[in-house]
């Protein structure tokens, strides 16, 4: 039995969900810009801060023990677990079940977690208290509060 | 069929428990479980808890004495965290072998014959993946490798249970007698696709171990159990019958339901819950580019409280024409609910099933249908899904979904969403 139906073209012509993009280049009237192909580029803070996406985590900083390294209370830090911690890296370490953010000092067989603030003591590690690195700090993110 | 194929099955040990431990280092070596929705049953157990004899799915209330005695800690499931960690593992694996099937939240199959030479063989590749996932995510995984999916799964079982393999078992690296020896030592119910019931029926045929099953003529197995079991036997013999399912076939039904955290009495609250469910189901429907022909709605009281009045009803509402429009689906839900709702009951669960699905593109237009409205509606639905995808679930929802969400599932002891929520990041001093 023949059936009546309209041609289904209208449905396929539906507008697609195109994401908004900012144009980062000037358009010169008349000529297409040679940079027109780059309209997809925009500044992405993830690109800037994250090298190894599946290995990157964010931590919240509490306290001022790293003030000397410009890491303040309330800052968010970017932590990359794929990196092998080296001498002088700022790291997240696990000490007695808690997280601490400190600078790794690793020289002449002596391992310490050093604060960057003279008001705090270094944590000295030993065979009884081995170093447990959670990840290497590779960035700091902070939003500034406006006055008023 | 491809006899040169090689598969790896990578799975995370005690996945939910391991996720919790990555972010709460104090939990290492502490007996712990993760509970199902509404904190009902143990759905993940640490090795310490397994050693205490706690079974998968054990109700939490039945464990309270044991928990007190041994200091077992219980966590509500934190699916946001588990989904994020699962994605990270898959991302890492894809770097090793782009040909990958995510089999479940904590296991993936990989096609590896192409990449094996690059890594110096199966054992070396397995160790590398294991080491990298451990370092990058903190999660422990086991790797099983073999020429078929069923054998890779078997190898994974050995990697997990037999300490000698140190988490990586490549069947190709074993001699034939060694392989047969392990098969003879492993019960047949450990084979992928053989359940406990099938195992009992196999026992009647004197098939008890993996090796027994492997050595049974496939034709004989087919007579008694059908082609699926025959395929399992072929796979155990190294003949690859199952490929990677990289494209999941569109679902024939889409279900969205939840138990309430507390009893729900009013039609308003039920409507809110059902609207949220149908909104989620609608998203899934549009994501797989299907149309629903009917909406099935059900509500029920708690059957585990037999002293309370029981009521249990469902209704299928056929749509005037197949649709993926959340507003139409939501209207159908309301029609059904008004018909089946009875006052005076404590409702425990409500759900929506979209059914009679068809492909969106094949849909024929009704003779009297307004195509202009249809196009505009499709665009609206697309925008809705797009906003919810990019700005977080529930950025925009239909008004009927409500704003209170009081009926959501109970999760009394959920850990923070450490990896996806700015306010819940782990803190370091």
> What is the H or E stretch that residue B377 is in?
helix B371-391
Q: What is the mean pLDDT of chain B?
A: 86
Measured between beta carbons, which residues in chain B are less than 8 angstroms from residue A134?
A: 25, 138
Q: Say which DSSP state A32 is in.
A: P
Task: Tell me the sheet residues that pair with A112.
Answer: A105, A124
Quote the CA–CA distance of A34 and B80 in Å, as a whole number: 43
Number of Cβ atoms within 10 Å of the Cβ of B143: 30
Q: How far is CA B188 from the centre of its chain?
A: 24
A81–B385: do the CB atoms touch at under 8 Å? no
CB pairs under 8 A between A and B: 106
A59–B426: do the CB atoms touch at under 8 Å? yes
A82–B386: do the CB atoms touch at under 8 Å? no
Measured between beta carbons, which residues in chain A are less than 8 angstroms from residue B87?
A: 54
Measured between beta carbons, which residues in chain A are less than 8 angstroms from residue B26?
A: 97-98
- What percentage of chain A exceeds 90 in pLDDT? 60
Those residues with Cβ within 8 angstroms of residue B76's Cβ, 6 or more apart along the chain or in another chain: B34, B35, B39, B410, B411, B412, B413, B414
8 A C-beta contact, residue B125 and residue B8? yes
Beta strand pairing status for B141-146 and B168-170? Answer: parallel
Phi, psi (degrees; rounded to nearest 5) at A103:
-90, 130
Nearest to A57 among B364, B365, B419 (CB): B419
Alpha-carbon distances of B27 from B18, B66, B248, B250, rounded to whole Å: 10, 18, 36, 40
Quote the CA–CA distance of B182 and B210 in Å, as a whole number: 9
**Predicted pLDDT of residue B357:** 78
Nearest to A61 among B26, B386, B428 (CB): B428
B427–A13: do the CB atoms touch at under 8 Å? no
- Which of A20, A19, A8, A10 lies closest to B377, judged by CA? A10
pLDDT tops 80 at residue B27: yes
**Residue of chain A whose Cα is closest to the Cα of B360:** A11
pLDDT tops 80 at residue B235: yes
**Interface-testing mutation among A20, A46, A50, A57, with chain B (most B C-beta atoms within 10 A):** A57
> Could you tell me the pLDDT band of residue A7, with boundaries at 50, 70 and 90?
very low
**Predicted pLDDT of residue B373:** 55
- Which of A138, A89, A58, A134 lies closest to B138, judged by CA? A134
- What percentage of chain B exceeds 70 in pLDDT? 86
**Predicted pLDDT of residue B254:** 85
B136–A55: do the CB atoms touch at under 8 Å? yes
Rounded to an integer, the average pLDDT of B19-27 is: 95
Token readout for B206 is: 């004197």
Alpha-carbon distances of B139 from B38, B94, B95, B111, B131, rounded to whole Å: 26, 16, 17, 22, 10
**Interface-testing mutation among A6, A7, A9, A17, with chain B (most B C-beta atoms within 10 A):** A17
Q: Which residue reads 């290995």 in tokens?
A: A55
Quote the CA–CA distance of B37 and B54 in Å, as a whole number: 18
> Could you tell me the pLDDT band of residue B201, with boundaries at 50, 70 and 90?
very high
B428–A99: do the CB atoms touch at under 8 Å? yes
Give me the interface pTM, i.e. the ipTM.
Answer: 0.75
pLDDT tops 50 at residue B238: yes
**Predicted pLDDT of residue B56:** 87
Instruction: Name the pTM for this structure.
Output: 0.69
Tens of pLDDT along B59-93?
888 998 899 999 999 999 888 899 899 989 999 99
Tens of pLDDT along B416-428?
999 989 999 999 9
Quote the CA–CA distance of B170 and B428 in Å, as a whole number: 40
Intra-chain end-to-end CA distance of chain B, in Å: 57
Query: Which of A25-29, B2-6, B106-110 has the highest mean predicted lDDT (pLDDT)?
Result: B106-110
Q: Say which DSSP state A36 is in.
A: G
Nearest to A59 among B136, B366, B425 (CB): B425
| Catalytic annotation, residues of A | 65, 102
Tens of pLDDT along B392-425?
555 565 555 544 444 444 567 889 999 989 999 9
Quote the CA–CA distance of A110 and A124 in Å, as a whole number: 8
Nearest to A92 among B91, B371, B428 (CB): B428
- Helix or strand or coil: residue B297? strand
> Could you tell me the pLDDT band of residue B361, with boundaries at 50, 70 and 90?
low
Tens of pLDDT along B155-183?
999 999 999 999 999 999 999 999 999 99
Alpha-carbon distances of A125 from A88, B22, B96, B374, rounded to whole Å: 15, 22, 36, 68
Q: How far is B56 from chain A (nearest CA, A)?
A: 28
Intra-chain end-to-end CA distance of chain A, in Å: 76
8 A C-beta contact, residue B364 and residue A11? no
The full DSSP string for B341-357 is --TT--EEEEEEEEES-
Q: What is the mean pLDDT of chain A?
A: 81
Those residues with Cβ within 8 angstroms of residue B334's Cβ, 6 or more apart along the chain or in another chain: B271, B400
Convert B45-71 to b/e letters by CB count within 10 Å (16 or more is b). Answer: bbebbeebebeeebebeebeeebeebe
- Helix or strand or coil: residue A114? strand
pLDDT tops 60 at residue B367: no
Quote the CA–CA distance of A120 and A68 in Å, as a whole number: 11
Q: How far is B334 from chain A (nearest CA, A)?
A: 27
């Amino acid at each position: 039995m023949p059936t009546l139906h309209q041609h289904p073209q209208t449905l396929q012509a539906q507008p697609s969900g195109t994401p908004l993009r900012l144009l980062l280049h000037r358009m010169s009237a008349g000529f297409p810009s040679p940079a027109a192909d780059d309209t997809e580029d925009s500044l992405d803070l993830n690109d800037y801060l994250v090298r190894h996406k599946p290995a990157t985590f964010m931590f919240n900083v509490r306290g001022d023990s790293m003030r000397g390294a410009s890491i303040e209370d309330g800052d968010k830090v970017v932590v990359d677990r794929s990196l092998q911690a080296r001498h002088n890296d700022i790291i997240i370490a696990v000490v007695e079940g808690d997280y601490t953010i400190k600078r790794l000092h690793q020289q002449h067989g002596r391992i310490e977690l050093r604060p960057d603030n003279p008001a705090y003591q270094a944590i000295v590690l030993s065979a009884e208290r081995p170093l447990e690195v959670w990840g290497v700090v590779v960035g700091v993110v902070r939003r500034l509060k406006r006055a008023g | 069929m491809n006899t040169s194929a090689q598969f790896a099955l990578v799975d995370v040990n005690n996945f939910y428990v391991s996720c919790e431990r990555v972010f709460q280092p104090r939990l290492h070596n502490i007996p712990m479980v993760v509970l199902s929705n509404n904190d009902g049953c143990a759905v993940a157990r640490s090795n310490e808890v397994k050693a205490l004899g706690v079974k998968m799915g054990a109700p939490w209330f039945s464990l309270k004495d044991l928990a007190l005695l041994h200091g077992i800690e219980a966590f509500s499931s934190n699916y946001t965290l588990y989904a994020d960690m699962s994605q990270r593992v898959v991302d890492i694996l894809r770097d090793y072998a782009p040909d990958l099937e995510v089999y479940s939240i904590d296991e993936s199959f990989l096609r590896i014959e192409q990449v094996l030479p690059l890594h110096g063989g199966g054992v070396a590749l397995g160790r590398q993946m294991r080491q990298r996932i451990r370092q990058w995510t903190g999660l422990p995984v086991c790797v099983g490798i073999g020429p078929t999916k069923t054998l890779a799964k078997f190898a994974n079982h050995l990697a997990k249970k037999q300490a000698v393999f140190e988490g990586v078992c490549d069947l190709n690296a074993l001699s034939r007698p060694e392989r047969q020896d392990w098969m003879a030592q492993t019960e047949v119910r450990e084979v992928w696709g053989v359940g406990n019931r099938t195992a009992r029926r196999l026992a009647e045929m004197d098939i008890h171990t993996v090796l027994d099953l492997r050595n049974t003529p496939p034709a004989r197995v087919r007579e008694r159990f059908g082609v699926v079991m025959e395929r399992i036997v072929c796979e155990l013999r190294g003949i690859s019958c199952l490929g990677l399912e990289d494209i999941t076939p569109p679902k024939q039904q889409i279900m969205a339901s939840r138990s309430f955290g507390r009893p729900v009495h009013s039609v308003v609250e039920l409507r809110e819950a059902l609207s949220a469910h149908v909104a989620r189901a609608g998203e899934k429907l549009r994501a797989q580019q299907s149309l629903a022909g009917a909406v099935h709605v059900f509500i029920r009281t708690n059957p585990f409280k037999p002293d309370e009045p029981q009521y249990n009803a469902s209704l299928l509402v056929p749509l005037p024409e197949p649709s993926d429009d959340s507003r139409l689906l939501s209207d159908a839900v309301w029609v059904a609910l008004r018909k089946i709702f009875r006052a005076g009951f404590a409702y425990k669960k409500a759900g929506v099933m979209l059914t009679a699905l068809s492909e969106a593109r094949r849909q024929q237009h009704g003779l009297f249908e307004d195509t202009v409205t249809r196009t505009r509606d499709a665009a609206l639905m697309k925008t809705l899904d797009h906003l919810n995808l990019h700005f977080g679930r529930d950025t925009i929802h239909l008004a009927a979904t409500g704003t209170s969400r009081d009926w959501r599932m109970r999760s009394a002891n959920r850990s923070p969403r450490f990896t996806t929520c700015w306010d819940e990041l782990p803190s370091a001093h």
